[in-house]
């Protein structure tokens, strides 16, 4: 896990990660910094609507945004929701990060410079909205989150969160298949969402669009493994940073660095900016 005073180099534990970091530090104007939102920039809380970005994350990203080619948020949230939850009291907001791009809904919706571009919502959502409550009704505390082009089933507030998640797996998968959707599993959540896009494809396309020369991606959840794979197969020097938690351990084996949740992510972002531009520290 991260250490407040550690220089950024000390946090990297693999050879490929060290080469990736060296490339970012030697040539920051060619670097793309990508980050997941929930669990990476925003601490996990029981109610998805009450999530808020770590209060010091926007300032850390704002500073980095001035130094690198691009900062991109790649999230399962709708972009405008991530931006709303990215407002920190009394400080800069996520939307203030220079040149920020938000790739929401796993890359299907894009926010840039105040504009959102998105394909039409999938037709199967109507069926999901109609039938899902009869599937979840048996589980106390299970929450349905309607995200406009996807619907998430959250079990964090159920009396037995893991048990409810397991029991809901099969009926939710059947409903998703019958509705032309896929199931995206996450932290005590099953999301019914359109196929054809994931965080890996989204990140890969963004790196090509920006002619990136290096990449660093921060994630905490199963959906971020595709983005980690995109870093590994991009042909660019890259660093995969896991925002560590006891809840999801599968990312650790794919990561070049493991930090202590959003707090550790913010510390690493600050160390990175200080290493790129010591004068601004
Ligand atoms: O890709 P992400 O930015 O990580 O978004 C993934 C999902 O995150 C949200 O759910 C998670 O965070 C909630 C708030 O902390 C928590 O209550 C929940 O248990 C987590 O699964 C969000 O609600 C989903 O819509 C996102 O798809």
Rounded Cα distance, 71 and 172, in Å: 34
pTM above 0.90, yes or no: yes
* Whole-number Å distance between alpha carbons of 214 and 25: 10
**Residue 281's pLDDT band (cuts 50, 70, 90):** low
What distance in Å separates the CA atoms of residue 228 and residue 242, rounded to the nearest whole number?
9
Task: Please report the atom of ligand 1 found closest to the CA of residue 154.
Answer: 19
| pLDDT of 1 above 60 | no
Domain 125-193, CATH number (from 3.40.50.10860, 3.60.21.10, 3.40.50.720, 3.30.70.1020):
3.30.70.1020
Q: Tell me phi and psi for residue 23, to 5 degrees.
A: -65, -40
Q: Which ligand 1 atom lies nearest to the CA of residue 199?
A: 1
Interior/surface letters 81-97, b for 16+ CB within 10 angstroms, e for the rest = bbbebbebeeebbbbbb
Q: Whose CA is nearest to atom 14 of ligand 1?
A: 48
Q: Helices 57-65 and 261-276, interaxial angle, to 10°?
A: 30
Query: Looking at ligand 1, which residue's alpha carbon is closest to its atom 20?
Result: 187
Strand 189-193 and strand 182-186: the pairing is: antiparallel
pLDDT tens, 142-182? 999 999 999 999 999 999 999 999 999 999 999 999 999 99
Mean pLDDT of 116-143: 96
* d(CA 191, ligand 1 centre) in Å: 10
CB 272 within 8 A of CB 62: no
pLDDT at 278: 82
Q: Sheet containing 31-35: which strands, arranged edge to edge?
A: 115-117, 109-112, 101-104, 70-74, 31-35, 214-219, 238-243, 257-259
Q: What would the pLDDT profile of 28-73 be if each residue is shown by its tens digit?
A: 999 999 999 999 999 999 999 999 999 999 999 999 999 999 999 9
Distance separating alpha carbons of residues 102 and 84, to the nearest angstrom: 12
Beta-sheet strands, E only, within 60-198: 70-74, 101-104, 109-112, 115-117, 143-146, 151-154, 182-186, 189-193
Average pLDDT in the 190-197 region?
Answer: 97
Question: What band does 4 get if pLDDT is binned at 50, 70 and 90?
Answer: very low
Positive or negative, the CA dihedral 36, 37, 39, 41 is positive
Of 273, 280, 267, nearest in space to 56 by CA: 267
C-alpha 123/C-alpha 194 separation (Å) is 10
Distance in angstroms (rounded) separating the CA atoms of residues 83 and 41? 12
Rounded distance from Cα 103 to ligand 1 centre (Å): 15
Which residue's structure tokens are 């510390």? Answer: 267
The answer to whether ipTM exceeds 0.85 is yes
pLDDT confidence band for 5 (50 / 70 / 90) = low
Q: For the CA atoms of 42, 45, 51, 54, what is the dihedral angle to 10 degrees?
A: -30
Spell out the domain ranges in the chain.
8-118+197-280, 125-193
| Ligand 1 geometric centre to CA of 7 (Å) | 30
Q: What CATH number belongs to 8-118+197-280?
A: 3.40.50.1000
| Ligand 1 atom closest to Cα of residue 43 | 15
CA distance linking residue 7 with residue 145, whole number of Å: 40
Examine the pLDDT at 2 and tell me if it is beyond 80. Answer: no
């Amino acid at each position: 896990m991260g250490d407040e005073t550690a220089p950024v180099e000390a946090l990297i534990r693999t050879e490929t990660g060290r080469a990736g970091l060296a490339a970012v530090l030697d040539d920051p104007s060619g670097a793309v910094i990508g980050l997941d939102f929930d669990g990476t920039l925003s601490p996990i809380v029981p109610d998805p609507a009450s999530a808020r970005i770590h209060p010091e994350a926007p300032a850390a990203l704002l500073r980095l945004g001035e130094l690198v080619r691009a900062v991109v948020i790649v999230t399962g949230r709708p972009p405008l929701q991530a931006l709303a939850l990215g407002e920190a009291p009394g400080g800069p907001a996520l939307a203030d990060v220079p040149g920020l791009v938000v790739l929401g809904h796993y890359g299907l919706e894009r926010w840039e410079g105040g504009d959102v571009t998105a394909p039409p919502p999938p037709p199967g959502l109507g069926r999901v909205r109609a039938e899902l409550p009869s599937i979840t009704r048996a589980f106390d505390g299970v929450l349905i989150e309607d995200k406009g082009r996807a619907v998430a089933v959250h079990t964090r507030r159920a009396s037995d969160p893991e048990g409810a998640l397991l029991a809901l797996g099969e009926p939710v998968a059947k409903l998703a298949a019958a509705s032309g959707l896929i199931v995206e599993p996450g932290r005590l959540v099953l999301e019914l969402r359109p196929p054809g896009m994931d965080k890996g494809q989204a990140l890969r396309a963004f790196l090509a669009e920006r002619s990136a020369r290096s990449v660093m991606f921060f994630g905490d959840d199963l959906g971020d493994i595709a983005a980690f794979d995109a870093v590994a197969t991009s042909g660019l020097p890259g660093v995969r940073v896991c925002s560590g938690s006891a809840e999801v351990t599968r990312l650790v084996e794919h990561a070049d660095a493991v930090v202590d949740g959003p707090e550790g992510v913010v510390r690493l972002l600050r160390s990175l900016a200080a290493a790129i531009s010591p004068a601004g520290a």
